[in-house]
Structure 1
């Protein structure tokens, strides 16, 4: 990305180190044992609990909370990991306010749900800190499976397959494993290198080899993997970013995902360049993560510009409130129609939108925001799509079991058609595909 110091106002070191460290500390402090027991005591332990139904990985939430309440957090962690092997990261990044906690009976009755996400983190962190891996590997089956992508879907698939006795080789395009958990979320959501610690812990199951800097379509091919392995799982996510359709090839214009990745990999936040006036185009979690972190790095003005109304914004109400609390301004019903500047960005021109018979149309009402940095966060598309597969709405078409149109090839996570683009959904899809792969490899239908 283009964020080197320039005359247009993109500079590093806008804030002193102590302020940066405070700004990027843990968003939600972990519960101590007393706090965890108090939080657990609020749970009604509902029969047919709505929170469990709302969880994409179907964790038995009442059970693990009861286990915490009775002082058996190791058992609570195993309950979580049985369904979601990346339960530690999901406890940090899941939009629980729109999933399990929104469905909580306490939320319905009192407007204050049980803190399910923080309780999940308490249980999983406790076990991981002990170095305990709660699962044993089955006897080797003699079957080998290739997994493309070491993100949430790929890791969940690989772990379940290894646990069932298969030998798994994971091919990852980047230097580190973790996918979006490592490169794609705000730094304040996952501190102290947790994503890599979680990967190392997951690999304790054995039977999994990860080969980094091995990109599908460049270093490996789907046809080659089909020849060399008994099954293939594709979980490489989405690599390309949608374009704005503007003449935006200027210094100061970049993709939000690249900015977030660079920040996540930075060992010295004081060296991260940021503009004085920053505009983020988009309405999802990536837009909010980029905007909030720009503000935390010292940008004086940060604006999110979203084309529709507040109720349509993909970022949750919590994320929108978080952005506002950090001083980010959100403009609704606006779209960019041009950028200004001679080589370097100086402004973004936006037009107001309105809905006419359900369709979004531009009005003649326009304005220009002064800006020296603009981030695109308007969604991603599948890059280097493998040949020989069917696609649906730009993603790999899969059935309910994750099977693609190609024999012996499954897919899950962001690259596949189906569920929401969430870490927890990707975990569920990788886990479920692994179970179907196992069934097929062992002679079932």
Structure 2
């Protein structure tokens, strides 16, 4: 690493622009045509393909791989996108090793699955990069639907409703549409503006009006939306960040990991983004891993993820944890934070080793400290801003299998709702399925 002349504390330009550009280049390069056909040839085209069952959006994976094998990548893209309209980003961010590729027959037999994710990316990029939209709107129905939240669930819902001939107004509190894909995913997974390119491509269906800077509860109410529209879909995401609730949490240099990731994604010049030398990330999910890896890529010398339970309990996938290790991130498990130390700004974090006791996780009494000038909190997110009239279940909006909430005429999906797995692909599935139920309800085909 090439440090800037400033070597202490949280400073910008720890690495030069060329190195930063290389570090944040696309982590997953595209297949070329030959590579794609070779990869497709490995598929057994199973009749009862377990990969389909493992995909939350139930893409016909053997079919799209056969279409690639026979030289029809555009047809493969349509097969994918008809089930998952955000198939381009999902190909980049889905934990395929635990979903479709984890269920692949070759994985069970050889430990080397068909590279379904890269094949999906190869096919969908053909349409995205060519800006070719293969779907058209049905005849206008005269119905208007409000979608709140322009993340994966809201976008999937809006597109499916628009395709059915409805008019959709998509509201989002942020300056851009995209939600998690635009603000919450590591930059090297969404290089070259692919997230916004996919949103722009999706909107080509027509019939969708996007209103940004509109926050539910502040700029518009659920009651007003119900009065003005024929149906409402809520894809609010999880905007709240859980606190550590320990002494010193308010010291300068202690940040929410989600804010850091969003700031990085919107940063036009990474050499202006401040980074510490000693970074500690607290948490065990994908947000923690993304914050840790990107800290290293920005020039942090020592980055440590600390998680309170063992590695098997981490929600981040083994692939992502192993990738973090290859980038030089250290992992400590079985330790919980008990205090942040420093004079005005963070200097160290104190942890206690943990064990499983009769009442759950408990400290052993043995502690240690890690030097830190920057600390990222990544211990989970929570729903905020949900209308009080909605029924919640374990902190999320309660929905049935079709996405219906406790309020008639209001549906929900994605991270804010029950039944999800905090995955982009699951959010897409819930948004799509809610749209189908909204359409059937409005057109009189559902009770």
TM-score (normalised: structure 1): 0.98
Rounded Cα–Cα distance in structure 2 between residues aligned with 1:303 and 1:240: 24
TM superposition shift of 1:127: 1.6
Q: 2-side partners of 1:344 and 1:388: how far apart?
A: 41
Hey, what does 1:3 align to over in structure 2? none
Deviations 1:243-286 (A, max 9, x none): 00013111100000000000000010111101110000000000
Residue of structure 2 in register with 1:391 after alignment: 392
Equivalent in the alignment of 2:252: 251
Are the equivalent residues in 2 in contact too, given 1:8–1:345 (CA < 8 A)? no
Within a 5 Å distance, the mapping from 1:108-257 to structure 2 comes to 108-247=108-247, 248-257=249-258
- Mapped to 2, the partners of 1:77 and 1:332 lie a distance apart of 41
**Aligned residues between the structures:** 441
Structure 1 CA distance for aligned equivalents of residues 147 and 127 of structure 2: 27
Deviation at 1:8, TM superposition (A): 6.3
Q: CA deviation at 1:105?
A: 0.5
User: 1:46-79 CA distances to partner (integer Å, 9 max, x unpaired)?
Assistant: 0110011000000000000000000011110000
Q: Distance in 1 between matches of 2:315 and 2:20?
A: 28
Matches within 5 A, 1:375-414: 375-414=376-415
User: Structure 1, residues 370-389: CA drift from partner, whole Å, max 9, x if none?
Assistant: 10110000000111121211
Unaligned runs of 5+ in 2: 1-5
1:443 aligned residue:
444
Q: How does 1:23-422 map to 2 (within 5 A)?
A: 23-247=23-247, 248-357=249-358, 359-422=360-423
- SS of the residue aligned with 2:97? helix
SS at match of 2:415: helix
**CA spacing shift, 1:250–1:77, aligned 2, 3 Å:** same
1:7 deviation in Å? 9.7
Equivalent position SS for 1:304: strand
| Distance in 1 of aligned mates of 2:331 and 2:359 | 23
Q: CA deviation digits over 1:275-334, x for unaligned, max 9?
A: 110000000000000000001100010000001001111000001100000000000000
**What displacement does 1:138 show?**
0.2
Which blocks of at least 5 consecutive residues in structure 1 are unaligned?
1-5
Greater Cα shift, 104-113 or 6-15: 6-15
Answer yes or no: is the 8 Å Cα contact 1:186–1:264 preserved in 2. yes
After TM superposition, where is structure 1 displaced by more than 3 Å over at least 4 residues in a row? Answer: none
Offset of residue 425 of structure 1: 0.2
RMSD: 1.2
How far apart are 1:130 and its partner, in Å?
A: 2.0
Which digits, 9 at most, give the CA deviation of each residue in 1:345-364, with x for residues without a partner? 00000000011247211110
CA shift, 1:145, in A, is 0.2
Q: Distance in 1 between matches of 2:374 and 2:219?
A: 34
Q: Any idea what SS the aligned residue of 2:101 has?
A: helix
Structure 2 SS opposite 1:178: coil
Structure 1 residues 372 and 56: CA distance shift in structure 2, 3 A: same
